[in-house]
Structure 1
Amino acid sequence: MDDELLRSSFGAAATAYAEHRPDYAQAAVRWALEPAPGPRVLDLGAGTGKLSATLVERGTDVVAVEPDPAMLTELRRALPTVRALPGSAESIPLPDASVDAVLAGNALHWFDLAVAGAEIARVLAPGGILAGLWNVMDDRIDWVSALERVSGSAAIGPRDTLSSWRAATADMFVARAGLDTRFGSPEQAEFPHGQRRTADSLVATLATRAGMLVMAEKERDATLGRIRAFLGKRSETAEGEFTLPMLTGVLRVQRR
Structure 2
Amino acid sequence: MEIPSISDQTRQQHAASFGAAADAYRRGRPPYPRAAVEWLVPETARDVVDLGAGTGKFTEQLVAAGFEVVAVEPSAGMREQLAAAVPGVAVHGGTAEHIPLPDASADAAVMAQAWHWVKPETAIPEIARVLRPGGTLGLVWNIRDLTEPWVAELDDVMHEHTREEMDTAPELGGPFEQLERTEIRWRHTLTRAELLDMVASRSYVIVLPASERDELLGNVAELLNSHPDLADHEELTLPYVTRCTRAVRR
Q: TM-score normalised to the size of structure 1?
A: 0.89
Unaligned runs of 5+ in 1: 160-167, 174-178
Query: 2:154 corresponds to which residue?
Result: 147
1:195 & 1:232 partners in 2: Cα distance?
A: 19
Q: Is the 8 A contact 1:37 1:128 kept in 2?
A: no
Q: Secondary structure at the match of 1:180?
A: coil
Q: Is the 8 A contact 2:190 2:235 kept in 1?
A: yes
Q: TM-score normalised to the size of structure 2?
A: 0.91
Structure 2 counterparts to residues 85-124 of structure 1, below 5 A: 85-124=92-131
1:51 & 1:126 partners in 2: Cα distance?
A: 24
2:48 & 2:126 partners in 1: Cα distance?
A: 15
Query: 2:144 corresponds to which residue?
Result: 137
- Relative to structure 1, the CA distance from residue 125 to residue 154 in structure 2 (aligned partners, 3 Å threshold; closer, same or farther) is farther
Q: Is the 8 A contact 2:141 2:168 kept in 1?
A: no
Structure number with higher helix proportion: 1
Alignment partner of 1:251 is 2:242? no
Q: Is the 8 A contact 2:45 2:67 kept in 1?
A: no
Query: 2:3 corresponds to which residue?
Result: none
Query: 1:22 corresponds to which residue?
Result: 30
RMSD over aligned CA atoms reads 1.7
Aligned to 2:91, which of 63, 84, 87? Answer: 84
Percent identity, please: 40
Q: Secondary structure at the match of 2:185?
A: strand
Q: Secondary structure at the match of 1:95?
A: coil
What is the CA distance between 1:126 and its match in structure 2? 0.8
What is the CA distance between 1:32 and its match in structure 2? 0.6
Q: Secondary structure at the match of 1:116?
A: helix
Query: 2:203 corresponds to which residue?
Result: 210
2:193 & 2:92 partners in 1: Cα distance?
A: 33
Q: Is the 8 A contact 2:14 2:203 kept in 1?
A: yes
Query: 1:221 corresponds to which residue?
Result: 214
Query: 1:169 corresponds to which residue?
Result: 168
Deviations 1:75-104 (A, max 9, x none): 111112111111111110111111011101
- Relative to structure 1, the CA distance from residue 37 to residue 123 in structure 2 (aligned partners, 3 Å threshold; closer, same or farther) is farther
More moved, 146-155 vs 45-54: 146-155
What is the CA distance between 1:201 and its match in structure 2? 2.3
Q: After the TM superposition, list the runs of 4 or more consecutive aligned residues in structure 1 that deviate by more than 6 angstroms.
A: none
- Relative to structure 1, the CA distance from residue 214 to residue 42 in structure 2 (aligned partners, 3 Å threshold; closer, same or farther) is same
Unaligned runs of 5+ in 2: 1-5
What is the CA distance between 1:216 and its match in structure 2? 0.8
Q: Is the 8 A contact 1:24 1:50 kept in 2?
A: yes
